[in-house]
Amino acid sequence: MSSDHDETELPLDAAFERLHADAAAGDPRAAGELGRLLCLLPQDGSLTAWSWLAPEWPAEPWLRAALASRPDDIDSAALLAGLLTQRFETGLRVHDGDSDTALQDEATALYSRILGRDPDNATAKAGLAAIQDLLDPAGTTPVSGYGFYCATWSAHSGSAGWVSLLVATDPREFRWAFDRQLRCGLDGDDDPAVFFADTEPAITVYRSGEPTRLIRLERHLGRSAERPVEWSEFTLPSLAGDLLPVGHPAQVRLGHGSERLAFYGSSVYNDY
């Protein structure tokens, strides 16, 4: 978090609420930090406890507010460009290759703006490569070369299904966001250990862009929605080397060997 909003001693729910109050009062730094945290939560606002913030893609309006006041905010620009790229990709999948080119154009412009200020910015270069790869799939997006955590859980029926991804680098924020992601799937008194038994929940630790450890969570699921994961039962390894920058796309490997481009934060993909 920024020095003006150092709330690392607060529980993350309390820090989140305080950031929202400051952002709503017009603080652009709080808006950017709130937008970053919202990127870690499911992007369909109707599935989260924070649905009152925005109906869907809840990070987007706060990142836009941050950029409107601080055009040089590279982190917010990279995060917003990543969200727009994800929305563009969703359109390509849902509409059989036909998507809103305005999303592509705005994401490209944001990445270009970042490169105008920082010509060597790796996140902007990787973002532009990701957009090009969506338009002409050829495996052009490079492996990130960074360290990060990636949580996955999925469901399949026959040859179709979906996979939910969470990519982050801060262990405290990662645990907070993954708990909330799992809670989105629970209804009432659902038992997480039963509900998620067939979804293959797992955490992969990446170092230098390569998976180095897989933690399967079947044995570590809690017994109530308040504790969907028993974090005290295992150690989340520390990350080594350079950490994935905010907003940077990364290649992740799914359970059956395929690879998927995942942006920093939370995302859900059809998996065929």
Per-10-residue mean pLDDT, the chain, length 272: 49 89 96 94 54 61 96 96 87 64 93 96 93 75 81 72 87 92 73 74 93 92 84 93 93 78 83 57
In a domain? residue 84 = yes
Among the candidates 92, 114, 135, a domain finishes at: 135
In a domain? residue 115 = yes
In a domain? residue 95 = yes
pLDDT of res. 3: 39
Token pair listed for 138: 């050829």
| 34 and 153 housed in the same domain | no
pTM of the complete model: 0.86
pLDDT of res. 246: 93
pLDDT of res. 259: 81
| 153 and 124 housed in the same domain | no
Token pair listed for 32: 């950017």
Among the candidates 80, 110, 135, a domain finishes at: 135
| 119 and 152 housed in the same domain | no
| 77 and 130 housed in the same domain | yes
In a domain? residue 143 = no
**Number of domains making up the chain:** 2
In a domain? residue 43 = yes
| 128 and 18 housed in the same domain | yes
Token pair listed for 43: 């992007």
What is the identity of the amino acid at 136?
D
| 215 and 118 housed in the same domain | no
| 101 and 185 housed in the same domain | no
| 130 and 159 housed in the same domain | no
Please give the residue range of the domain that contains residue 234.
Answer: 148-270
pLDDT of res. 51: 40
Among the candidates 111, 135, 159, a domain finishes at: 135
In a domain? residue 31 = yes
In a domain? residue 142 = no
| 117 and 192 housed in the same domain | no
pLDDT of res. 54: 39
| 216 and 237 housed in the same domain | yes
| 187 and 226 housed in the same domain | yes
In a domain? residue 8 = yes
Contact between 222 and 229 under an 8 Å Cβ cutoff? The reply is: yes
| 82 and 21 housed in the same domain | yes
Read off the CATH number of the domain in which 29 is found.
Answer: 1.25.40.10
